[in-house]
Structure 1
């Protein structure tokens, strides 16, 4: 019975901008970790009343950002963890076998790749692929990573920050680097698509968090909304619609068979390298 008015943003930092310009204009936000920290530092959030959100007991922080600290938990409740990014390909049209990162530089893939236009994802990945720290500030190492990224982008036909999988589904490209959630939906829609198992792939994870504005005019209803989403059955509906890593273990008892088919996509092997993004959610 509560009407929700929603604004969508294509850049996580806009959450901070919109809220700072209109502190009473929004009740709830869903930032990633860097914007969460900025909002806390600017004293723009109210502390979470966990007793008023009883379903928060189902939410775990085990799969959240490594930089999430006890102070952050006073102001936020995790929603989902995006599962980073995934390579998918058309099994009938891709021109080369891809088993390692350097295979993506093959000239046979010229004009065949669609990727997200985010250098903050590519540079850490390239640095780690070359054996360096993902946060290296060494000029020589960064220059080497730059050359690797240039070779990759020479094969890119489309940069798409929303749904990269669409360029593979429509035949424009044969290989896509896309959000795991976008990839999972594409695999469910098209049986000719599969995801690449690249042996030296790096992974990125970032979580989105529910927060309530310090000057929220409807904070009690905001708490009711968050409690509703944390309900395992409702959370499962969210996973079915927008697949991701679940921070609600109980919800996995209610997910659809389709979600179970692609759930393995979000699992990161213990021996794989993970980039923990400090830049916020790429959307």
Structure 2
């Protein structure tokens, strides 16, 4: 995996937090037991004890006495919204690369005390000190992977080697699309030959135009709902993360997965962070350390199907997993991949505006919807006034 990851990750200097020895690290004392940490993670993103697999959270509690309150989100944007609005107190979050850099810039995650995370030594050098966290002070890599297309073999007979198939009219009503702006725009950008991280206004507008052209063909914009829709045959084509092949491809012989080789794809890293103001920081760091234990990481990755950033954990995985190009793609594919980085504020604002237009069908339809809603509001106000006047007359 190290050789493969090096193909897409920038060469980096040795982290000052790295451990010189590869021997079993001395574990820190367990912090206060009996407390409960709040963990906020993606759906379907941890081994939970189903089918005799390891229940990661239960095992953590068994070993440390620290309880875990575990909830899930379905996109980086919904995670950010929850944090920004102060809607809940979390001790652990697991965002993606570009969102991590945004959270760092806005002071929304804490620096980690790596003396409480000695198992960080198992994280491969290629996954440290990346653009989203250049000093490796705020995050610990959890998984990595690429984005591809799930397809129903019964109905899609042609090679799935280009993102353009998601614009094919013969599959109208059977196409799913990411329900988040970065991934959806990324697909359009690759078709147009643009970088994911462009700051060119015209390029973003062209990508939005392409997504608007696709919209009539799209059955729904979804995230984890892809599992039910693809498994049932309700949808035939859907872009999603390679790690979920474990759930879809292996459980359903009708479902295939392909990485578009013509344009290239997204290479992502999801990493573990602690939000600013977390109430149980030491206990959260104990949780991070636990997840980095190679045996725990291997059991966890074996269940969720994503790629591990730890060579030590990879050696413990089944041979069929390690040799599967879905989980560990060939170097030629990784060379054509690109990682998201946090965009400037003005570009993010433009992206949010264009995404709203795509989802609503364009500025014209957005204006129409606003007019309709305003009409209903005026009608409601009129009814309320009429009733009040009527009641007043009856009392007179």
Q: Same fold (TM over 0.5)?
A: yes
Deviates more, 1:167-176 or 1:9-18: 9-18
Shift of 1:213: 4.2
* TM-score relative to the length of structure 1: 0.82
Single out whichever of 162-171 and 129-138 deviates more from structure 2: 129-138
SS at match of 1:241: helix
Instruction: Map 1:8-27; keep pairs closer than 5 Å.
Output: 8-13=72-77, 15-16=79-80, 18=82, 25-27=89-91
Counterparts of 1:19-58 in structure 2, within 5 Å, are: 25-58=89-122
Gaps of 5+ in 2: 1-64, 349-396
RMSD: 3.1
Alpha carbons 1:46, 1:212 under 8 Å: kept? yes
Equivalent position SS for 2:185: helix
8 A Cα contact 1:65 1:205, kept in partner: no
2:67 paired residue number:
3
Partner residue, 1:264: 326
Task: State the Cα distance separating 1:186 from its structure 2 match.
Answer: 0.4
Q: Which residue of 2 aligns with 1:241?
A: 303
**CA–CA separation in structure 1 for the residues paired with 2:185 and 2:141:** 27
CA–CA distance in structure 1, aligned partners of residues 172 and 87 of structure 2: 48
Alignment size in residue pairs: 277
Q: Structure 1, residues 260-280: CA drift from partner, whole Å, max 9, x if none?
A: 464534426144242425379
Change (3 A) 1:23 1:218: farther
Cα distance in structure 1, aligned partners of 2:110 and 2:254: 48
Q: Which of 59, 64, 77 is 2:123 aligned to?
A: 59
Corresponding residue SS for 1:185? helix
Judge which range, 222-231 or 117-126, deviates more.
117-126
From 166, 169, 175, the counterpart of 2:228: 166
Partner deviation per Cα, 1:31-87 (whole Å, 9 max, x = no partner): 33344334434545443222221111001352479523433x122212112x23210
* Partner residue in 2 for 1:231: 293
Partner of 1:180: 242
For 1:13-162, list aligned pairs within 5 A: 13=77, 15-16=79-80, 18=82, 25-60=89-124, 62-63=126-127, 66-71=130-135, 73-81=136-144, 83-94=145-156, 96-134=158-196, 135-139=198-202, 141-162=203-224
Gaps of 5+ in 1: none
Deviations 1:205-254 (A, max 9, x none): 33222223454333322222111110001001111221212111110122
CA shift digits 1:82-133 (9 cap, x unpaired): x232102121222655443334433211222122223322323323322334
Residue in 2 that maps onto 1:212: 274
**Contact 2:163–2:187 at 8 Å: present in 1 too?**
no
Of Structure 1 and Structure 2, the greater helix share is in 2
**Of the two, which has the highest radius of gyration?**
2
TM-score by length of 2: 0.61
Q: Which residue, out of 313, 317, 324, partners 1:251? A: 313
Question: Per the alignment, do residues 131 and 108 of structure 1 end up closer, same or farther by CA in structure 2, a change over 3 Å counting?
Answer: same
Higher relative contact order (CA 8 A, sep 6+): 1
